[in-house]
Structure 1
Amino acid sequence: MKPTTPGIHHVTAIAGDPQRNAEFYVETLGLRFVKRTVNHDDTGTYHFYFGDGEGTPGTNITFFPWTDSGRRGQFGAGQTRDTAYQIPPDSVEYWIDRLESAGVEVDQVERFGEPVLEFDDPDGIGLEFVASEQAFEADAQPWPESPVPAEYQARGFHSVTLAVPAFGPTASVLTDVLGFELEAEADGRRRYRPAGDGSEPGSSSGPGSIVDLVETDAGRGRMGVGTVHHVAFEAADLEEQERWREAFADHGQNVTEIIDRKYFRSIYSREPGGVLFEMATTEPGFTVDEDIDDLGSGLMLPEWLESERDRIEAQLPEFDPETVGAGAGAN
């Protein structure tokens, strides 16, 4: 039996200045700073996680802030064009006012019958807020200290939009490996969700489960500041992770061994259209090294890097976590 996924676990992108990045996602978007650690593969770079009140899988956007001296990325084929959050349907006007007051340009469109707010973060990463009834079905937990009132807070991911050279090769991975099915097509966009009605574990067609594909004639994108590094989908546990490795390999995909990322266990495979996919387990989660009330309060390192803490802290870029969200009460 093939494994199935309920949808998106997290999205990881590359930012510029770490201070600007954290202030935007906490103070403007109202997300909680749930974890501050380092890129395990490049310990001179922070790894920030922003999510709901508990860092629930399916709510976390994460960043490697390369600073403003880092190489700029170039959008193109094989990249995530937009990352969409779901918001309650009656919060559209609130978010338009909030974003515009923060100097963010917002466009409002309709897509598959739902209002969508399109905007960019300070580094040019494409974001969307989708006013969806499914926001009420999400597992996202409100963050009481958010500058955004609980009734308007983003409730986890709605979807990702992947830009690919052609639909077919990427669609085959979505359908044949991940178990998605084509749900709708309009205006040059194809929408996929996990097959099933949600009655069985892993067969959810609910919130955070959508992948949209669009074709682009742009050349292959270049990774760097202002681009998304990878999209991660949920895997239940290590046993299922092994089945995911087999599923990717059986489809002819190169896939990594299981890698310990401290808060989850991961495998990676680059689909034929160029997008890097990750499968990430839901456990052990962010409370493995911090109490839930203290999430994001310290620089957390995995055990295998703890002996290098002094060296790591000395080479990290300037960042003051104490000023992020200071005095930003709900409004």
Structure 2
Amino acid sequence: MQLKPLLGQHHVSAITANAKENYHFYTKVLGMRLVKKSINQDDTSVYHLFYADERGNPGTGLTFFEIPRAGTTYTGNNSISLTSLRVASDEAIKYWKKRFEEFEVKHDDVVTKYGRNVLSFQDFEGQRLELVSDETNRGVVGGKPWDQSPVPVEYAIVGLGPVQLTVPQSDVTIKVLKDVLGYREKESYPSSVEGQPAIRVFETGEGGTGAEIHLEERTDLPRERAGRGSVHHVAFRVESEQELKKWVDYLQQLRLPNSGFVERYYFRSLYFREPNGILFELATDGPGFEGDESFEHLGETLALPPYFENQRAEIEAKLKPLNTKE
């Protein structure tokens, strides 16, 4: 079957225990735009918040499920262990270092890693994040920052960068990345942990920061226990619904357990787990987030896909009010 290459990262979905504080951090501190305030379509009692560039372009989305009773994350193996966010330049990295100091965000020093300036930091729940400079990047273009953000456009986050997976058996994950998803190995760089194997870099499509997976093999770690501040899944871009249906057929032919075609309204999806248990999603570039809200008012009210509208009163009664208009 002839499949087009995946286009890069689509979104990363993580867990928060506090939607109000989460909204404040990602919009007021990081300056991302909330493009959709919706629900977890598999558990309608839970918020699903979508942060991105000005209109939620594919490859710019960082999303959160609010699980108020989510416990502490015990970091470890079999996990999506680092999510990076792209900024335009090395100068932007310097700006963020000062901003994190101003807002008392826990962060490390600026370092050069895999040939790019990066700045690691954590949100208020310990979510593991990293800013990466696109100063020398070639490949998938970034998004367009919202001009009403508290962060100047020239320094703003423009999308998702490399996503790091940490696994005890890298060979089986590599087989899925290369033989199933069509990634190609690009390079490697030393682990920050002495005595551990180099971190291997895989890319798809046009490559670059928006299309890389960084694979870390660690045999010295226990399995991660997910909670607030952990990542639920990573999604990769498929250009169209027609192409996604080809992927559904392809995974069925491979007899790889998967969700089949899933309607998410804002995009269409396909889910499966690679052998180390990490959840992958393939998601279409469209239709996008403006089917039920205008560009000017994205994220201001609770948006429900049409097939949940008849449950609106019941759903709203279970959710704690969240003001996203200010």
Question: Is 2:241 the partner of 1:241?
Answer: no
Render the CA deviation track for 1:251-308: whole Å, top value 9, x for unaligned: 4421111111110010100001111000001111101111111111110011121111
* Counterpart position of 1:312: 315
Equivalent-residue separation in structure 1 for 2:114 and 2:76 (angstroms): 24
TM-score normalized by the length of structure 2:
0.92
Which residue pairs with 1:24 in the alignment?
Answer: 25
- Partner Cα separation in structure 2 for residue 227 and residue 168 of structure 1: 24
Within 2, Cα distance between the matches of 1:106 and 1:58? 24
In the other structure, the counterpart of 2:73 is 73
2:206 is matched with which residue?
204
The alpha-carbon distance between structure 1 residues 277 and 51, as it changes in their structure 2 partners (threshold 3 A), is same
Q: Which amino acid aligns with 1:66?
A: I
Between the aligned partners of 2:138 and 2:126, the Cα distance in structure 1 is 25
User: Which residue number corresponds to residue 147 of structure 1?
Assistant: 150
Root-mean-square deviation (CA), in Å? Answer: 1.6
Q: 1:37 maps to which residue?
A: 38
What letter is aligned with 1:3?
Answer: K
CA contact (8 A) 1:3 1:244 kept: no
- Residue in 2 aligned with 1:114? 116
Q: 1:138 aligns with which of 134, 137, 141?
A: 141
SS at match of 2:38: strand
Structure 2 residue aligned with 1:284: 287
2:224 counterpart residue number: 221
1:21 maps to amino acid: N
Q: Distance in 2 between matches of 1:47 and 1:242?
A: 25
Equivalents in 1 of 2:99, 2:211: separation in Å?
A: 27
- Relative to structure 1, the CA distance from residue 179 to residue 135 in structure 2 (aligned partners, 3 Å threshold; closer, same or farther) is closer
- Residues 121, 321 of structure 1: CA spacing in aligned structure 2 closer, same or farther, 3 A cutoff? same
Query: Post-superposition shift, 1:136?
Result: 9.6
From 188, 192, 195, give the equivalent of 2:202.
Answer: 192
Please state whether the residue corresponding to 2:157 is helix, strand or coil: coil
Counterparts of 2:48 and 2:145 in 1: how far apart (Å)? 23
Shift, 1:138, TM fit:
2.1
DSSP-derived class of the 2:282 partner: strand
What's 1:265 paired with? Answer: 268
Which structure 1 residue ranges, 4+ long, deviate > 4 Å from structure 2? none
Corresponding position of 2:9? 8
Q: What SS class does the counterpart of residue 39 from structure 2 fall into?
A: strand
Structure 2 Cα separation of the partners of residues 162 and 175 of structure 1: 15
Assess, with a 3 A threshold, how the Cα gap between structure 1 residues 320 and 154 changes in structure 2: closer, same or farther. same
AA aligned opposite 1:192:
F
CA contact (8 A) 1:70 1:225 kept: yes
Q: Give the distance between the partners of 1:260 and 1:96, measured in 2 at CA.
A: 40
Contact 2:7–2:239 (CA under 8 A) maintained in structure 1: no
- Structure 1 SS opposite 2:104: coil
Matches of 2:43 and 2:154 in 1, distance apart? 38
Q: What is aligned with 1:124?
A: 126
Could you tell me which residue of structure 2 aligns to residue 329 of structure 1? none
Q: What amino acid sits opposite 1:215 in the alignment? A: E
Paired residue secondary structure (1:49): strand
Q: Displacement, 1:143?
A: 0.5
Q: Provide the residue aligned with 1:327 in structure 2.
A: none
Q: What per-residue deviation string (whole Å, max 9, x for no partner) do you get for residues 195-236 of structure 1?
A: xxxxxxxx3113410100001232222332211000000111
8 Å CA contact 1:248, 1:269 repeated in 2 = no
Q: What amino acid is the match of 1:59? A: T
- How far, CA to CA, are the matches of 1:178 and 1:35 in structure 2? 29
Identify unmatched segments of 5+ residues in structure 1: 195-202, 324-331
Gaps of 5+ in 2: 191-197
Q: 1:181 to 1:140 in 2, by over 3 A?
A: same
Task: State the SS of the aligned residue for 2:287.
Answer: coil
Whole-Å separation in 2 of the counterparts to 1:310 and 1:128: 39
Aligned-residue sequence identity (percent) comes to 37
Give the structure 1 partner of residue 193 of structure 2. none
1:96 offset after TM fit, Å? 0.1
